[in-house]
Amino acid sequence: MRFKVLRMPIALGFASILAAGAAQAEPSALVEDITSDRDDVQLLDYLEPGQTIKLAADETIVIGYLRSCVQETITGGTVTVGENESAVSGGKKDSGYVDCDSGPVVAQVGAEQEAGAAAFRDAGTDELNASRILFGVSPLVKLSQPAEAVEISRLDTEEVIHRVSATGAVVDFAKAKIALTPGGTYKAKAGEREVIFKISRLAEGSGASALARLLPF
C-alpha cells in the first residue's frame, strides 16, 4: 500500500445517521479492519471523537481518519478516538498516511434537499463538477438511506453502466470485481440520490485501503 499525505472534501454514512438525526456528532474515523467480532465496533463503522475501544492483548483494529488521512494499526490496549488520530494506552500503535479525500462526512437530515448541497447533484446541474475524488478504482459505497442497488455510470466518455445490489448500508464494488478507470468522472445513483465523483489518475487497484475508496452518500 502506498502511503502519502493528500487532500480535501468527503460526505456521509447510514442507519445511525437516520436514527440520531441532525444532533449527531460528526464522525472522525472509519474502522477499516478488525480481527474479532464485537458488538460495540464493527467493520466499516464510523467512529466519533471521544469514543473508546478496549482491545484484548491479541486484538487488532485498523482505523482510518477521515480528515487527516492517517491510518493506524492498533493492537491491544484502550483506544480513544480523536479528531485526527487516536490516543492509545497499554497497546501498540503503528501509523502512516494514505491517499484519501478528506472533509466533512455527515450530511444532516434533509441536507440532500437543499440547493447546492456539496455531496449531492440533482438533474440539470453540472454533472462533471465532481464532489469527491477516490484513490482506489473500486468504490466502497456507504449509504445514508436504504436502496435496492447502486448504479455507477461514466460521464466524460462512454463506458458500461455498473449496477450492484445493496443488501445493507455498504456496497463494495471490489467484492463485485468491478474496477473503474483512473482519471474518469462518474455518477453514482442509489434511489433518488446521486453523487458525482472522480477516480484519481493515481488510483490503486486491489491494494487500495477502504479510506481511499470510500464513497458515502
Count of domains forming the chain: 2
Residue 14: pLDDT above 90?
A: no
Taking the CA atoms of 101, 203, 195 and 51 in sequence, report the sign of the dihedral they define. Answer: negative
Where residue 207 falls among pLDDT bands split at 50, 70, 90?
confident
- Whether 160 has a pLDDT exceeding 50, the answer reads yes
Instruction: Tell me what pLDDT residue 109 has.
Output: 32
CA pseudo-torsion sign 66, 181, 123, 171:
negative
53: Cα separation from own chain's centroid: 20
| Average pLDDT of the residues in 23-28 | 74
Grid cell of 137 as nine digits: 478504482
Among 97, 127, 144, the domain-final residue is: 97
Contacts of 46 (CB under 8 A, 6+ apart): 13, 16, 27, 29, 30, 31, 105
What pTM was computed for the model? 0.78
- Determine the pLDDT at residue 148: 95
Q: Which three cell numbers stand for residue 7?
A: 487532500
Between CA 48 and CA 53, with CA 49 as vertex, the angle to 5 degrees is 75
Query: Does residue 118 share a domain with residue 86?
Result: no
Residue 9 covered by a domain: no
Same domain, 71 and 159: no
Question: What's the CATH code of the domain at 140?
Answer: 2.60.40
DSSP 135-172: EESS-EEE-SS--SEEEEEESSS--PPEEEE-SSSEEE
Tell me: do 53 and 20 sit in the same domain: yes
Question: Do the Cβ atoms of 86 and 63 come closer than 8 Å?
Answer: yes
Confidence of residue 128 (pLDDT cuts 50, 70, 90): low
Residues of the domain holding 91: 15-97
Q: Single out the residue in 97, 130, 156 at which a domain terminates.
A: 97
Of 11-20, 85-94, 184-193, the range with the lowest mean pLDDT is 11-20
C-alpha cell at 198: 472522480
State mean pLDDT over 22-26: 60
Measure the CA–CA gap between 145 and 70, rounded to whole angstroms: 27
